[in-house]
Amino acid sequence: MGQKIQVMAEELAGRIAAGEVVERPASIVKELVENAIDAGATEIVVDLEKGGKKSIRVTDNGCGIEREQVEIAFQRNATSKIYEFEDIYRIRSFGFRGEALYSIASISEVEMYTKIAGAVTGSRIVVENGIIKEISDAGCPQGTSLRISRIFAATPVRMKFLKADSTELGHCIDAVVRCALANPTIKVSVNVNKKSVLAVPRTGSYAERISLVLGDHVERETVSVEHPGTAMELIGFVSRPRFTLSNGRGMMFYVNGRYVRDSLLHNAIMSAYRRLIEPRRYPSAIIFLDLPAGEVDINVHPTKREVRFKNPSMVFEFITHAIANTLSVLTSDKKSHDPSSFYELPGAGEGNVVKGDGEKDRRYTIAAGPDKKMFTERHAAEKHVLFRSAPLLGEINGESGKESYFSSLHYIGRVSGTYLLFTAPDAIVVIDQHAAHERILFEKLRRQLMEAGMESQRLLLPELLTLSPALYAPLIDHLQILNELGFEVEPYGPHTVIVKSIPTLFSHLPISIIMPDIIDELVKSGKSMQIEALRDTIAALLACRGAVKAGESLTEAEIAGLCRDLDDAPYSTNCPHGRPVFIIMNNAELERLFKR
């Protein structure tokens, strides 16, 4: 208690405050790109070195800053948006707190060139760790260019908490992508170590921008949502129920043009998809919600990532209703209930011209989904056969004694289109069709990988897959592992790969649907994971995606085949993710339930 209370020095306070705004290089990229958008830029270029850890440069052709305003821009609480407290609730732009440039300059070296329209010369300013070192006239084009280097030089302990260059690069690109999606009329480019990794031209619509930034497979698998209202308006794109992801990163929310993370918006979307997608799966959704500035508080977080709604229940119901109405139109289509259409991709079989890096233009017929053509036509005849009568597997790890238990059961019907009911002597057996088939496929995959590697099948017509930069980079890093898993994948132009072979067992699944999940698993697992464990992880993922889904109709012959295969599969009590495959209720349990 003997310590005296004192006011922190301005430099120390600035470095501490900077930590709230600048968490990593991506934070700097986000703030500078948003400033460029506020400045009216129609073109933004981002240059990164070592994932943004060495240097970041953001250049725009916006309005620029007047000479007498240049020094003021780096002072704490400097802003052109707030003149009185009530202005906070009328803000429609991005930057307004007056913290970004001040915070960035507090923990790095900043060199800025800027020039306003009509001026003869521009200005140059250099700031090191919050101290202005130089201000001078300079020749430069209209707009602003900021180069940030020696990041966290004044707070080296923060540098130790940064991740690998590739990880920080991914966060930087994600920050640019979020801004690019919401501003289709702005040309956006990203260069990494002087090599272009993202070049998005101006587009006339959100749909075009989504296709260019996130990949054409996302645009193909989403439908537009438009829901005008008197108090708020929603436009956006949501994925068809057949297209899901293993995590919620495919959901992006914008409130009045600003990207936010909000649990209410997340829950509203998941509520709209209730009973339409599998448990622990997530849709892709890009939602733009527009409402009066006074109905939302954007000043609840230093980085403005979170918001607070004045009437949260109204917002929740509005979003859920808008998306549920759109999905109801899709699911009311008779074709959508046909299992064979679950993996069908629009445009399958259409001719497309694609260009390679330095190669002659090639014409491919892009084939995907159930109609994918192979060199070996045997699979085409079997593509609708879900199960095989022959045993899939022998004994593994010495498990034995099951003989033909499941095959001996008497099938009596289904519940909820998912649970298969059987009678046995003095018992009722309930099998989860998805969990059962998932275990069967997993063991087959696992054995193939252990013994001879994954059997693959070459595509007669190679398939092109355009990915977002955030997915493309890790895919390239894991090409060798993908080859071991039965995929033959090669780079083919910016953000595009060409798929020449795929695992035979999953040749009926569209690459554009399963590849994002595979990449996500590879990234989560990391290169340090043992290859055997990584193979099991991917095998479990592929088994889940390839297994018959809840709600899909099976013939009695297919159900019999499922039981035979389950008899031959080891560890048939649980699926690879730990969920039970079956439950048994014997007479004693039934009598207890009926209080007999």
Domain borders along the chain are: 10-196, 221-337, 366-596
Helix/strand/coil (H, E, C) string of 526-551? CCCCCHHHHHHHHHHHHHHHHCCCCC
pLDDT tens-digit map of 306-320: 788 889 889 999 999
Return the minimum-mean-pLDDT range out of 223-232, 300-309, 334-343, 548-557: 334-343
Cβ atoms < 10 Å from Cβ of 90: 12
pLDDT tens-digit map of 234-257: 999 999 887 888 888 889 999 988
From the number of C-beta atoms within 10 Å of its C-beta (0-12, 13-18, 19+), residue 526 rates as: exposed
User: The dihedral of CA 514, 519, 289, 33: what is its sign?
Assistant: negative
What pLDDT score was predicted for residue 332?
46
Residue type at position 124: R
Q: What is the mean pLDDT of residues 462-481?
A: 83
Highest mean pLDDT among 51-65, 157-171, 309-323, 571-585: 51-65
The answer, yes or no, to whether residue 83 has pLDDT greater than 50, is: no
C-alpha span between 351 and 367 (Å, rounded)? 9
The answer, yes or no, to whether residue 150 has pLDDT greater than 90, is: yes
What pLDDT score was predicted for residue 505?
67
Strand pairing category for 187-192 and 43-49: parallel
What pLDDT score was predicted for residue 349?
31
Look over the chain and give the mean of its residue pLDDT values, rounded to a whole number: 77
pLDDT tens-digit map of 389-429: 222 343 323 343 445 789 889 999 988 888 999 998 888 99
What pLDDT score was predicted for residue 300?
57
Backbone angles phi, psi at 141, to 5 degrees: -75, 170
What pLDDT score was predicted for residue 397?
31
C-alpha span between 438 and 545 (Å, rounded)? 8
C-alpha span between 496 and 504 (Å, rounded)? 23
C-alpha span between 133 and 541 (Å, rounded)? 55
Q: Place domain 366-596 in its CATH homologous superfamily.
A: MutL, C-terminal domain, dimerisation subdomain (3.30.1540.20)
The answer, yes or no, to whether residue 337 has pLDDT greater than 50, is: no
Q: How confident is the model at residue 154 (pLDDT cuts 50, 70, 90)?
A: confident
Q: Which helix (H) or strand (E) holds 138?
A: strand 131-138
Q: What is the mean pLDDT of residues 544-553?
A: 79
Q: What is the mean pLDDT of residues 9-16?
A: 59
Query: What separation in angstroms does the CA of 295 have from each of 33, 91, 92, 140, 255?
Result: 26, 11, 12, 41, 11
What pLDDT score was predicted for residue 338?
33
What pLDDT score was predicted for residue 346?
29
Cβ atoms < 10 Å from Cβ of 361: 8
The answer, yes or no, to whether residue 227 has pLDDT greater than 50, is: yes
What pLDDT score was predicted for residue 159?
83
C-alpha span between 220 and 347 (Å, rounded)? 9
pLDDT tens-digit map of 428-453: 999 999 989 988 988 888 787 777 66
What pLDDT score was predicted for residue 376?
30
pLDDT tens-digit map of 15-27: 555 555 688 999 9
What pLDDT score was predicted for residue 360?
30
The answer, yes or no, to whether residue 336 has pLDDT greater than 50, is: no
Q: What is the mean pLDDT of residues 53-75?
A: 93
Q: For domain 221-337, give the fold.
A: Ribosomal Protein S5; domain 2 (3.30.230)
Q: Do 366-596 and 10-196 have the same topology in CATH?
A: no
How far does Cα 187 stand from its chain's mean position? 22
The answer, yes or no, to whether residue 13 has pLDDT greater than 90, is: no
CA dihedral 307, 309, 310, 314 (to 10 degrees): 180
Q: Kindly state the tokens that stand for 325.
A: 């109405």
The answer, yes or no, to whether residue 53 has pLDDT greater than 60, is: yes
Return the minimum-mean-pLDDT range out of 31-35, 103-107, 306-310, 575-579: 575-579
In contact, 255 and 298? CB cutoff 8 Å: yes
Q: How confident is the model at residue 367 (pLDDT cuts 50, 70, 90)?
A: very low
C-alpha span between 482 and 489 (Å, rounded)? 8
C-alpha span between 240 and 442 (Å, rounded)? 26
CATH node for 10-196: 3.30.565.10
Q: Kindly state the tokens that stand for 397.
A: 């790890």
Residue type at position 506: F
In contact, 65 and 73? CB cutoff 8 Å: yes
E-assigned strands of 319-388? 351-354, 362-365
What pLDDT score was predicted for residue 78?
59
Of 392 and 460, the structure prediction assigns the larger pLDDT to 460
C-alpha span between 373 and 381 (Å, rounded)? 11
Percent of all residues in the chain with a pLDDT value above 70, rounded to a whole number: 76
The SS3 of residue 426 is coil
